[in-house]
Amino acid sequence: MQGYALVAAAEAQGDGRIGEVVRADRMRLRETVRLPLGADAGKATAFLVHGMLVNALTAWLPADGREARP
């Protein structure tokens, strides 16, 4: 999500190059996951998406882990 916000802000100011850099880095990350697992591109993407979802959901938990925030 931060990448989308960064690209949108840069493009709004007329800088289209940052989007190319962010996309290239994302593709490099996907290939880093895909190659050792021997997965196809769809499975590698799903793996990364699930990891991002887990990170987003756990951000709502308090540090002590007892109760979720409302």
Domain residues for the domain of 36 are 2-58
- Asked if the structure places residue 13 within a domain, the reply is yes
Largest CA distance in the chain: 46
Structural domains of the chain, count: 1
Closest by CA to 9, choosing from 25, 19, 20, is 19
- Asked if the structure places residue 49 within a domain, the reply is yes
- Asked if the structure places residue 66 within a domain, the reply is no
Looking at per-residue confidence, does 69 or 12 come out higher? 12
- Asked if the structure places residue 46 within a domain, the reply is yes
Query: On the CB side of 61, how many CA atoms lie within 13 Å of its CA?
Result: 9
Read off the tokens for 32: 């880093």
- Asked if the structure places residue 38 within a domain, the reply is yes
pLDDT tens-place string over residues 11-40? 899 988 988 888 898 888 888 888 888 878
- Asked if the structure places residue 8 within a domain, the reply is yes
- Asked if the structure places residue 65 within a domain, the reply is no
Q: Give the pLDDT confidence score for residue 27 in this predicted structure.
A: 86
